[in-house]
């Protein structure tokens, strides 16, 4: 028995043209909801399967989006990838994911590989500020690219991410309201804009509120940076009232090492995070943190990318979305 069902047969069974059947199965506009339901029902009944190669040749589109992130294992990027995939799928795109391992050279290679797979567009969370600009140079000019979460610069490509300054300001104001008068910052360095912007915002808001700030510890957005921050605090003759951590992972490492050193959070010192990962609500104590609007970031980034895929030549756009403060056990005595 013949195993391959053609689009022509689906169209005939549904009583529509081949073009209408194609649009209905692809989720395109200009097809009524009733027709979409009928065509999909007949396709399922007949066992029709879309041939992605034939469709790409027919439409001039693979319906694929590529995405490169620095560290897939980071809980924040895991959530962001999940949100982007859901939005992409809702618009009829599949997502191909690559991990740059925070290596600019590997990032450039992954971008070239995805371009070779003929993706319609790409989302990139740049690894570093200076080298990431170079990584976008070898990109084919006909592959649209949108920066997500991190940004090289406004002249590189469209960008969607969180308002880092607003988020850090929320944390400092909250800690001041809790009675903190000395605050230490433990975060990432200036390798990417997120580390730089959060550190600069901390300094600006600490100055506004007259907060005393001991020397910071700055390295990466990881647990070991938090551990290093805790080690520095344990050596201090006078410990700060509070610590603003540049990410939830940093806060987890910091709190765990402080606990090992006999310093209790929040009884002896207040600690905040940044990202709003699921683990922040499971960790003990639960973590006061800035919750990134991941679903909104994913939606806006895909919308930006779709407009570029559709041929928009508007000036580069930048959208920094406001986060929210979630108060929890690490600052509640």
Q: Which tens digits make up the pLDDT trace of 146-162?
A: 999 998 866 678 999 99
CATH numbers and ranges of domains, the chain = 7-50 (no CATH), 64-161+294-319 (3.40.50.2300), 164-292+325-331 (3.40.50.2300)
Give the pLDDT of residue 52.
59
Give the pLDDT of residue 18.
84
Give the pLDDT of residue 260.
97
**Residue 2 binned pLDDT confidence (cut-offs 50, 70, 90):** very low
CA 99/CA 77 separation, integer angstroms: 10
pLDDT in tens, 232-269: 999 999 999 999 999 999 999 999 999 999 999 999 99
Give the pLDDT of residue 25.
81
Estimate the crossing angle of helix 248-260 against helix 223-234, to 10 degrees: 40
pLDDT in tens, 275-310: 999 999 999 999 999 999 999 999 999 999 999 998
pLDDT in tens, 26-76: 776 678 888 889 989 988 888 887 765 555 555 556 889 999 999 998 999
Give the pLDDT of residue 136.
52
Which of 68-72, 141-145, 172-176, 203-207 is the least confident region? 141-145
Q: How many CA atoms lie within 13 A of 107 on its CB side?
A: 25
**Residue 129 binned pLDDT confidence (cut-offs 50, 70, 90):** low
Kindly state the percentage of the chain with pLDDT values over 70: 89
Distances in Å between the alpha carbon of 125 and those of 114, 201, 204, 230?
14, 21, 26, 29
* Residue 67 near residue 95 (C-beta atoms within 8 A): yes
Decide if pLDDT at 140 tops 60: no
- The pTM of the full predicted model, rounded to 2 decimals, is 0.81
Give the pLDDT of residue 1.
37
CB neighbour list of residue 301: distance below 8 Å, 6 or more residues apart: 84, 123, 146, 148, 160
* Residue 302 near residue 158 (C-beta atoms within 8 A): no
């Amino acid at each position: 028995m013949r195993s391959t069902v053609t689009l022509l047969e689906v169209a005939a069974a549904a009583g529509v043209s081949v073009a209408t059947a194609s649009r209905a199965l692809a989720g395109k506009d200009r097809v009524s909801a009733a027709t979409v339901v009928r065509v999909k029902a007949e396709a399922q009944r007949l066992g029709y399967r879309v041939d992605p190669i034939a469709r790409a040749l027919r439409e001039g589109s693979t319906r694929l989006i590529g995405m490169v992130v620095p560290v897939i294992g980071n809980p924040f990027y895991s959530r962001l990838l999940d949100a982007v995939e859901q939005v992409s799928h809702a618009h009829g795109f599949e997502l191909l994911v690559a991990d740059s391992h925070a290596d600019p050279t590997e990032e450039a290679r992954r971008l070239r590989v995805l371009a070779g797979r003929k993706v319609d567009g790409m989302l990139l969370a740049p690894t570093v500020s200076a080298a990431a600009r170079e990584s976008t140079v070898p990109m084919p000019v006909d592959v649209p690219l949108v920066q997500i979460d991190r940004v090289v610069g406004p002249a590189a490509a469209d960008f969607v991410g969180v308002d880092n300054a607003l988020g850090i300001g929320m944390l400092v104001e909250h800690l001041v309201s809790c009675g903190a008068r000395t605050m230490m910052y433990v975060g990432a360095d200036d390798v990417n804009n997120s580390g730089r912007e959060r550190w600069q915002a901390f300094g600006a808001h600490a100055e506004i509120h007259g907060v005393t700030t001991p020397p910071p510890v700055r390295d990466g957005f990881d647990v070991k940076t938090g551990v290093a921050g805790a080690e520095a605090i344990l050596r201090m003759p006078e410990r700060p009232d509070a610590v603003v951590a540049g990410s939830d992972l940093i806060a987890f490492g910091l709190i765990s090492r402080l606990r090992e050193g006999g310093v209790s959070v929040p009884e002896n010192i207040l600690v905040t995070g940044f990202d709003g990962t699921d683990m922040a609500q499971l960790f003990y104590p639960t973590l006061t943190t800035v919750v990134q609007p991941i679903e909104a970031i994913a939606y806006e980034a895909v919308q930006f990318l779709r407009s570029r895929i559709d041929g928009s030549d508007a000036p580069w756009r930048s959208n920094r979305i406001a986060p929210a403060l979630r108060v929890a056990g690490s600052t509640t005595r």
